[in-house]
Chain A
Amino acid sequence: NFMLTQPHSVSESPGKTVTISCTRSSGSIASNYVQWYQQRPGSAPTTVIYEDNQRPSGVPDRFSGSIDSSSNSASLTISGLKTEDEADYYCQSYDSDNVVFGGGTKLTVL
């Protein structure tokens, strides 16, 4: 099994850009798709990025995803931060029949 490691928390001001990383412990990050989920307090998670860099309909283009094979990591970038972006963000990938979530990153927009 592998792990996905995220920073515990990040903070940034409204209007700025923030990037959240997700590092895979073993196996190639490029071998399996990475998804990103947003979870606001008291709500179920929703997908903001799927297949490494695809946005579901309804997700603003301020959200973007990428992968970097050199660091074996995926990244979620949110530009033009808004207070409504304050939430927990989780990366997720898989290996064979096992699904793995990252530990989650709390984004504070202050």
Chain B
Amino acid sequence: EVQLVQSGAEVKKPGESLKISCKGSGYSFTTYWIGWVRQMPGKGLEWMGIIYPGDSDIRYSPSLQGQVTISADKSISTAYLQWSSLKASDTAMYYCVRRLDPTQNFDYWGQGTLVTVSS
């Protein structure tokens, strides 16, 4: 069974750093793209970027490039999303997703990680 299991909820202060994770299981982790999708409170879905764990090829959304870093450790089948300096506007639910090619359908979703940034 394919599963994407994300790390737990986080409460941080502005300016702090954070790294959240997404562990894949039940499939070949290195042969599917893994992406991140943001959902701000009460808002819609927003694609952030994607990584191919096989060779760490990364693509970022043009609107979010430079604000976050996406990485992966294929030895432990885990993808990461990290911030060096959080802002209150980073408060959101973050989902990791597995992407099917070439259709770009996100066929499996993690359960989501809620990040709250507040002073």
Contacts and interface: CB of A to CB of B under 8 A. Distances in A.
Given A50-B103, A93-B104, 4 more contacts: A44-B110, A50-B107, A90-B44, A101-B37
Contact of A44 (B35, B46, B107, B109): B109
Interface string A64-90: 000000000000000000000000101
Contacts of B100: 50
Interface of A: 1, 32-33, 35, 37, 39, 44-47, 50-51, 56, 88, 90, 92-94, 97-104
6 contacts: A32-B104, A50-B100, A50-B105, A88-B44, A90-B45, A92-B106
B30 to A, nearest CB: 19
Interface string B89-103: 000000100001001
How many interface residues does chain B have, given as a range? 20 to 34
Contacts of B107: 47, 50, 56
Interface of B: 35, 37, 44-47, 50, 59, 61-62, 95, 100, 103-107, 109-112
Interface centre among B61, B95, B110 (most CB of A within 10 A): B61
B103 A45 contact: no
Contacts of A32: 104
A84 to B, nearest CB: 19
